[in-house]
């Protein structure tokens, strides 16, 4: 497959903010309300994939490759349609995890179809869907590429051991971004954010699910098994830093503007954003702290009663072909969940595209991979209490 030259699309995360805990989620899924739970026997509908060659796919904006001359064209998706004869109704309707939850939860809790065969949401929200029994187990016999090529680091998160219900669409790292020239030194540890020369020039992410893990890692906590005490210790520390004026503010993705302007010198940040920022300012660096950083994903799932499950499983597996994954990675610039795509990019004739194979923010090197961890998610019993405390600190 011929790979296009690397372009510089606006990152989806540059435009959209993923909130940590919405009212509806806190009141229903966050509390694990049992009447909303759907047992395995009640999740499947008659699959008409063999006779109805189509599927409906809900995704985020700016999260798939498009043609440079015609943004309405999606080369990898159109290649799938041509190869399989399956027509894909691709809808960019997910702007926020909680908002989308509110949109489809009434159907799911009432055992009704959502009208969607495939959805992409953040893993911390995927955990809620899995616990509530709102998604179907995937048939791995239809997904040999996923079985073979899925990154070992992403294969077994705490909320979905063995990835029975979810498959990563794209992945990323929550670490620290900083301006090396303006700061005049390196940042290597989470504790460096609290240095006196950064007073009032630091931002943290406002969303609970986005912020807490990295801060815990700075305390040496194993985030695969963190405790309530670990969480409250972090909150105590952040409250102290707010009180002394260290933290300028809590942000969504608008930290990008602050970092670019120089109003902020260091911040919690997403790896995919920094790739885009570095294109304009090579002095902006991204660091996986010595203590480690959180590896996260946004994943594909088939909701209950979807009528084109086999078609959806076929599409998921298509995107795990290394050549297809490479073409997608060259456009979206997130951490690729298919390490084998690296060799495809390295062989590209276009120099900019080939250079992506050496970018550790798309294909983390061995040293970085050893410091990346998937955090255990916040349980339904913990969420209301934790969100209340964190949101009070962050001013939400």
Mean pLDDT across 269-295: 93
- Total residue count of the chain as it appears in this document: 396
Kindly state the tokens that stand for 184.
């005049």
Tens of pLDDT, residues 191-208: 999 999 999 999 999 999
Tens of pLDDT, residues 70-129: 988 999 999 999 999 999 999 999 999 999 999 999 999 999 999 999 999 999 999 999
Tell me the pairing of strands 54-59 and 87-92: parallel
Q: Say which residues have a Cβ less than 8 Å from residue 135's Cβ, sequence separation at least 6.
A: 43, 126, 129, 165, 166, 301, 302, 303, 304
pLDDT confidence of residue 147 = 98
Look over the chain and give the mean of its residue pLDDT values, rounded to a whole number: 91
Question: For residue 338, which of 324, 325, 328, 347 has the smallest C-alpha distance?
Answer: 325
Tens of pLDDT, residues 163-194: 999 999 999 999 999 999 999 999 999 999 99
Tens of pLDDT, residues 46-74: 999 999 999 999 999 999 999 988 988 99
| CA atoms of 110 and 385, how far apart (whole Å) | 27
pLDDT confidence of residue 39 = 96
CB-based burial label for 13 (10 Å; 0-12, 13-18, 19+): buried
Q: Sorting pLDDT into bands at 50, 70 and 90, what band is 7?
A: very low
Q: At what angle do helices 75-84 and 322-332 cross, to 10 degrees?
A: 150
Kindly state the tokens that stand for 31.
């509390």
pLDDT confidence of residue 333 = 92
């Amino acid at each position: 497959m011929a790979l296009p030259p690397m372009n510089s699309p606006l990152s989806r995360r540059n435009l959209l903010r993923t909130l940590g805990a919405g009212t509806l989620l806190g009141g229903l899924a966050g509390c694990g309300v049992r009447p909303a739970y759907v047992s395995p026997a009640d999740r499947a509908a008659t699959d008409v994939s063999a006779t109805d060659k189509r599927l409906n796919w809900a995704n985020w904006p700016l999260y798939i490759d498009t043609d440079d001359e015609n943004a309405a064209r999606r080369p990898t998706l159109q290649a799938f349609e041509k190869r399989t004869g399956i027509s894909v109704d691709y809808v960019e309707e997910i702007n926020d995890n909680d908002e989308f939850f509110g949109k489809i939860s009434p159907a799911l809790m009432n055992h009704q179809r959502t009208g969607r065969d495939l959805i992409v949401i953040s893993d911390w929200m995927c955990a809620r869907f899995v616990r509530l029994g709102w998604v179907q187990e995937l048939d791995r016999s239809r997904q040999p590429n996923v079985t073979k090529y899925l990154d070992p680091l992403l294969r077994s998160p705490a909320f979905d051991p063995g990835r029975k219900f979810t498959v990563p669409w794209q992945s990323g790292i929550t670490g620290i971004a900083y301006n090396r020239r303006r700061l005049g030194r390196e940042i290597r540890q989470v504790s460096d954010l609290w240095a006196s020369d950064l007073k009032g020039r630091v931002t943290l992410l406002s969303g609970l699910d986005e912020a807490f893990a990295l801060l815990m890692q700075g305390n040496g906590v194993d985030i695969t098994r963190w405790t309530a005490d670990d969480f409250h210790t972090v909150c105590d520390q952040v409250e102290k830093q707010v009180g002394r004026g260290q933290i300028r503010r809590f942000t969504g993705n608008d930290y990008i503007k602050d970092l670019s302007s120089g109003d902020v010198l260091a911040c919690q940040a997403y790896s995919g954003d920094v790739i885009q920022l570095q294109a304009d300012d090579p002095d902006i660096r991204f660091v996986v702290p010595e203590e480690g950083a959180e590896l996260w994903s946004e994943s594909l799932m088939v909701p209950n009663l979807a009528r084109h499950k086999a078609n959806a499983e076929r599409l998921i597996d298509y995107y795990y072909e290394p050549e297809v994954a490479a073409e997608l990675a060259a456009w979206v610039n997130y951490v690729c969940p298919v390490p084998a795509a690296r060799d495809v990019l390295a062989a590209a004739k276009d120099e900019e595209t080939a250079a992506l194979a050496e970018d550790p923010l798309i294909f983390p090197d061995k040293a970085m991979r050893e410091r990346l961890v998937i955090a255990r998610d916040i349980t339904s019993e913990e969420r209301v209490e934790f969100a209340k405390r964190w949101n009070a600190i962050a001013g939400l």
